[in-house]
Amino acid sequence: MQSPAEVAAPTHRRPLQPKNFDSIPSVWIHPKPKPIAFRCPPTTGVGAGKESRPISLPELGTMAGLRDASLSEELVAARRRRERLRAERERTEEALRERYAAMRRWAVELEKWAEEQRNLELELRLLIELRDLQSSSTISSPVQSLREKERQRSTEVKLQMSPVQSVREKEQQKIVEAQLQVRMPSHSNTSSMQESAV
């Protein structure tokens, strides 16, 4: 068990002091003073053993002054903190508004680009279909008309019947062939003109 002298004597330990005073801010060198604890002097008499006793007026004044000083410091610090938080909130809200506006602009541009892409795709499909339609319609069919087939057969039969033909028959054959050749190109020209009109 310890003696009452050892228990009552508080240990006063001082913190380490910095050696370089130029590099350390003055706030660290001069710490904020702590409020003085309220101590009641021991009383003797009738109410000496009681815990609750009336506090004198001078002691109340010093306590109130210390409380007011610490409360005013806390109030100033709270106001500064509130102003700082308000300024930060306004900055973040402004940044969010700017980002939202930029994203909206980007979304509108993206929608325009997508619409242009769809239009280009439709135009490309139409051009491909038109090209296929033109290529299928310009192909000349090798099918001959019945009249042309009959004329060819008649000329072949005549050639087979008489080995020696007269000059007149040769001229008639050349005229018929020339007429056939004239009809075929004119027929293909009219079909190509009809396709270009479509």
Domain membership of residue 32 (yes or no) is yes
CB distance 195 to 137 below 8 Å? yes
Domain that holds residue 77: 18-38+55-107
Domain membership of residue 64 (yes or no) is yes
Share of the chain above pLDDT 90, in %: 28
Grouping H, G, I as helix, E, B as strand and the rest as coil, residue 49 is: coil
CB distance 183 to 151 below 8 Å? no
Residues 149-158 have a mean pLDDT of 81
Domain membership of residue 69 (yes or no) is yes
Nearest 10 degrees: CA dihedral of 92, 94, 99, 102? -170
Tell how far CA 10 is from the center of its chain.
66
Residue range 57-115, pLDDT digits in tens:
445 555 566 677 788 899 999 999 999 999 999 999 999 999 999 999 999 999 999 99
For the chain, give the number of residues: 198
Higher pLDDT, 163 or 20: 20
Higher pLDDT, 58 or 172: 172
CB distance 54 to 44 below 8 Å? no
Domain membership of residue 131 (yes or no) is no
Residue range 41-56, pLDDT digits in tens:
556 655 555 566 655 5
Rounded CA-CA distance 137/131 in Å is 10
* DSSP letter assigned to residue 10: -
Q: Which stretch of 35-39, 108-112, 120-124 has the lowest confidence by average pLDDT?
A: 35-39
Higher pLDDT, 195 or 118: 118
Domain membership of residue 148 (yes or no) is no
Instruction: Tell me the pLDDT of the chain averaged across its residues.
Output: 74
Rounded CA-CA distance 68/74 in Å is 10
Rounded CA-CA distance 96/108 in Å is 18
Domain count, the chain: 1
* Amino acid sitting at position 57: L
Rounded CA-CA distance 107/6 in Å is 78
Domain membership of residue 189 (yes or no) is no
Res. 30: pLDDT tops 60: no
What pLDDT is recorded for position 117? 96
What pLDDT is recorded for position 153? 84
